[in-house]
Structure 1
């Protein structure tokens, strides 16, 4: 009944959405502590949306997320624990929002300074949590700007790390990525990206590859450019 092609019908039917949220809440059962806070109505809607409003699938997704959060404890990661990963500026939260009011994360892969899979992942998870905390009221998504200028295989993280990051983003932070712009990605990266499109199918339409120099040059110093790129 609630297939992706009919999603627009749900978008225009608050009563159906509310019923699905109540059904999911009942299916999950009693919660306490951080799990209770995490499973707000807004969060339940995100998980339902990510699973085409299928309550059973959304329930499984939330349960797996709660299990991950109970062991990984992303909400407890502090800056001083990951500061060494971010000292080169390879990833950071921008001081501006995009024109949709979304928090912007800027990533510069060429500034990679670590080979630690766990360190890289914890740093990104910290940024995700920080971005969510700083989302304006009523906004649930963030934007990514990924500047590949200067990138080379020498600073490329292992594919295992990349796969784990994709897994975390898709399964534990559904509907959080509003749009991602890839500036100046090397041809090798584009080839790898095409191969792995099926692994990021849920986010595929949110990813835009841009190569025109003026389009994003110094975007993090001239944020007004970002306000007019049609995102």
Structure 2
């Protein structure tokens, strides 16, 4: 009797990658069932980090010297004052909302302090500018998934996978760009950064930005690139863990030279061009899409991807917000404490 091949629907399987799906080719022969091939999972959705990426001890960056502790206490006292209001707002009451208090964590203060070279006055100025910007930019209300969805249709910018240090992969594939440069495209970056922050494992504070160019990649203007850099450096300091640029066209070298003077030395040191990220140990293949040499095949279905990202990031934020409230809901609480699993 000849055997007939039958392909069954994908079988759900528990995996370390939060419910990966494995498709199995089945051969039926004289009443027996034999698995003859296993094809890699096809991904449509982002996923939360495996527990192995959550740190088991606080990062060294959370350990302060006596002098640093004094500077930190000065900044904390300023924002924790009962009569504190955000200065220079165009509209609305400057009293801190719950969302803003949740934003002003111990780690957030330290990120801005490091970016301010441990100068309390500069740190307070930068943080107040960030608080005002977040209000006016609509981070907590008007910057919704619907407001950026039309710029996500081609899957140019998205979050997927985690590097070996647990940083969310913030991927940008310029060759997929179809919308014009402008404020709306920058909003897409900001919205994605907010989601990346929400799903970061315990003890992780930064992202791995990955830009994969191709022959079809369009040239980006200096002005647009500088605006993105300014936004991320000003309002998301210390959030860049590494920045990987691969297959860059000739104009990228020119653009990088133009932008270089506007990059702080720490940011500049984190940028690598044409790095072999698997061979050099930045990512493992199971966390990386095929375009970058990994094993994951991501099929872009915009609504499905965004719906899942909103779901998992929203649940994670609410879980941590609940714990934060239980710990007192005050300015200066540790992310390390309320992210405890």
What range describes the TM-score normalised by the shorter chain of this pair?
A: 0.7 to 0.9
Q: Between Structure 1 and Structure 2, how many residues are aligned?
A: 212
Question: Shift of the alpha carbon at 1:13?
Answer: 3.8
Aligned to 2:271: 207
Residue from 91, 98, 123 that aligns with 2:157: 91
Residue from 17, 21, 27 that aligns with 2:78: 27
Bigger-Rg structure (1/2): 2
| Residue ranges of structure 1 left out of the alignment (5+ in a row) | 1-8, 224-231
1:60 matched to 2:111? The reply is no
Question: Shift of the alpha carbon at 1:221?
Answer: 4.1
Aligned to 2:195: 130
Question: Shift of the alpha carbon at 1:21?
Answer: 1.9
Residue from 108, 111, 130 that aligns with 1:43: 108
Cα distance change on mapping 1:218 and 1:116 into 2, 3 Å: closer
Q: Is the 8 A contact 2:62 2:107 kept in 1?
A: no
1:222 matched to 2:295? The reply is yes
SS in 2 for 1:146: strand
Residue from 143, 146, 152 that aligns with 1:80: 146
Moved over 6 A (4+): 211-217
Residue from 173, 196, 199 that aligns with 1:108: 173
The structure richer in helix per residue is 1
Aligned to 1:4: none
Superposition CA RMSD, Å: 2.5
* Structure 2 length-normalised TM: 0.57
Cα distance change on mapping 1:16 and 1:138 into 2, 3 Å: farther
* Structure 1 length-normalised TM: 0.82
Deviations 1:39-95 (A, max 9, x none): 11110000001111111111111011111111002233222221110111111001x
| Residue ranges of structure 2 left out of the alignment (5+ in a row) | 1-59, 85-94, 280-287, 297-341
SS in 2 for 1:114: coil
